[in-house]
Amino acid sequence: MTHTLSSDYIMTVRANLLVRPITPTLLVVEITSGEVSGPKIKGRLIAPSGDWLRILPSGVGELDVRALIETDDGALIYSSYKGVLKQTLDVQERLNAGEILKGDDFYLVGAPRYETAAPAYGWMNEIQAIGKMVEFQRGGDAHFTYDVFAIR
């Protein structure tokens, strides 16, 4: 028996970043601002929000993100997720040089969950989402953009 997954687009998230290296294996990535936009949600990212990114001995990055969304109609939605970042040395050098990287340049996927008391967004409490990187830039206009999908 084969089971399949399907997905529904929820939103695109753009997070503006401030990277703070703590140790060679821990980066605290502060989300200084940002926007969320989708068919049923529009709003902005507010403090406190960030990623406590660990670099494992294999070179793989382990995302540990917590973010707060304030919707245009005043609701608060908490998001938390783990994820995986895998990039080659060449891609790391391009990122360090400030190049804007796209979703096909390296692997970056997260699995967000959402919590809110707002009735209009209660459906978000009931889904498992997957986020896939669209664009990432570390230097200059440091930001991370990803698309979020509900998995069915």
| C-alpha separations of 83 from 75, 80, 129 in Å | 26, 10, 12
Total domain count for the chain? 1
Model confidence band, residue 145 (pLDDT cutoffs 50, 70, 90): very high
Average of pLDDT values for 6-30? Answer: 96
109-135 pLDDT tens trace: 999 999 999 999 999 999 999 999 999
Is residue 2 in a domain? no
47-84 pLDDT tens trace: 999 999 999 998 899 999 999 999 999 999 999 999 99
Domain that holds residue 97: 7-151
Model's pTM, two decimal places?
Answer: 0.93
**Contacts with 19 (C-beta within 8 Å, 6 or more apart), sequence order:** 27, 28, 29, 30, 138, 142
- The secondary structure of residue 10, as a DSSP letter, is E
Is residue 1 in a domain? no
Is residue 140 in a domain? yes
Rounded CA-CA distance 95/2 in Å is: 39
| C-alpha separations of 128 from 44, 71, 112, 125 in Å | 21, 20, 7, 9
50 closest CA partner among 80, 72, 6: 80
Rounded CA-CA distance 40/38 in Å is: 6
Is residue 51 in a domain? yes
What's 146's domain CATH number?
2.40.160.20
Model confidence band, residue 138 (pLDDT cutoffs 50, 70, 90): confident
Is residue 91 in a domain? yes
